Amino acid sequence: MTQSLLRRWILLLPLVSLVLALPHEALAAPGQPGILASLLKWTPLIFKGFLLNLLASVLSMALGTLFGAFLGLAQISPNRLVAKSAWAVTQFFRNAPWLVLLFYTVLLIPFEIGISGGVIPLPDTAKAILGLALPVMGNVSEIVRGAVQSVPSGQWESAQALAFTRRQTLWMIILPQCLKRMLPPWMNLYAVLTMATPLISIVGVEEAMTMTRAALAAENRSELLVPMYGMLLVWFYLYCAPIAAWTKRLEMRFGVKA
C-alpha cells in the first residue's frame, strides 16, 4: 500500500511544481533564459543546501533523542527532586518557540571552546544543530514519560513480586513494551523537525533556504520567486510525506494515537 502511494506522490509532485512554474514561464522576459532552465541551473547548489537540512535534521534528532531519553527516564525517577527537575526542564524546552531557542543557543555558546589546552571550534552549523536538538529533547522526554506511564501498573507489580529490581523492571519489562508506542510520535516529531530546519538559515547556516535566497538575489528576477520556493516545498514534501504515511500505518498497526 505504501509502495503504490509513494509512486503516486512521485508522479504527482513534479507535475504540481510544473503547474506552478508554467504560468511563470510565459513571464520570462525576452532575451532571458526560461524559468525551467534557471531552476535547473541553480538546482545543484540548492540541493546541496537541502542535503545540509537533512543532515541537520538527522543529527538534531539523534542528539535530541539521546538527551530526551535521559530526561524522560529522569521524569519517572522515584527520586522526587530528580523527577520534578526533569519535568520542569522538559516543560521549558517543549513550550519554548524553536526559533528563540535557536537564537539563544547560537548566541550563548562561544564560537570555540578550549579543552585541556586544545581548542575546538564550534561552527554555527554545529550550534544550530544543538539549538534544534533542545526542543526535540523536550518532546522526546514527554514521549518516553507518556509511554512508560501507559504501561499498566500490574506489570510493575508482578515484576516487583518476582524480585526484579526497579532498574531491571524498567529495562527488561517496561521499556521493551514501550518502544512500539513511542515509535509513531517519535517519527512524527522527526517530520516536524525536518520541516523546521529552514529556521537555521536565519542564524547563517548555508542550507537550502539560504541557497535559494542567494540564487534569487543573483538572478534578480521576480518571476523566479514562486517557482524556486515551490521547488523547495516539493522537495520537503517528497521527503516528509512518506514518513507521515508510514507513521500513520504504524499507528494503526499498534493501535495507538500520536
Partner 1 sequence: MTWTADQPIVKIFDVHKSFGKTEVLKGVSMDVAAGEVVCIIGPSGSGKSTLLRCINALAVIDQGSVQVEGQEVHDPDLDQLALRRKVGMVFQQYNLFPHKTALQNVMMAPLHVLGEKRGDVEARARELMRKVRLAGKENHYPGELSGGQQQRVAIARSLAMRPDIMLFDEVTAALDPETVKEVLVTIRDLALEGMTCILVTHEMGFAREVADHVYFTDHGVIVEHGPPEILFSQPQDPRTKEFLSHVL
Instruction: Kindly state the smallest distance separating residue 80's Cβ from partner 1, in Å.
Output: 17
Q: Which 28-47 residues touch partner 1, going by CB under 8 A?
A: none
Site for partner 1, residues 172 to 191, rule: CB under 8 A: 172-173, 176-177
Q: How far apart are the first and last CA of the chain?
A: 21
Residue among 112 and 157 whose Cβ is closer to partner 1:
157
- Cβ atoms within 10 A of the Cβ of 32, count? 12
User: Which 128-167 positions form the footprint of partner 1 (CB under 8 A)?
Assistant: 152, 154-155, 157-165
Q: How far is the CB of 182 from partner 1 (least distance, A)?
A: 14
Q: Which of 32, 79, 91, 168 binds partner 1 (CB under 8 A)?
A: 168
Q: Are 76 and 147 in contact (CB under 8 A)?
A: no
User: Measured between alpha carbons, how far is 174 from 159 in angstroms, rounded to an integer?
Assistant: 10
# residues contacting partner 1 (CB under 8 A): 17
Nearer to partner 1, 156 or 237 (CB): 156
Can you tell me the distance from the alpha carbon of 164 to that of 87, in angstroms, rounded to the nearest whole number?
A: 26
Environment class of 58 (CB within 10 Å of its CB; exposed 0-12, middle 13-18, buried 19+):
middle
- Which triple of cell numbers denotes residue 168? 531491571
Q: Does 120 bind partner 1 (CB under 8 A)?
A: no
C-beta of 10 vs 162, nearer to partner 1: 162
Alpha helices in 29-174 (DSSP H): 35-75, 80-95, 98-108, 124-149, 153-161, 166-168
Is 2 or 155 the residue whose CB approaches partner 1 more closely?
Answer: 155
Q: Which residues of this chain interact with partner 1, rule CB under 8 A? A: 152, 154-155, 157-165, 168, 172-173, 176-177
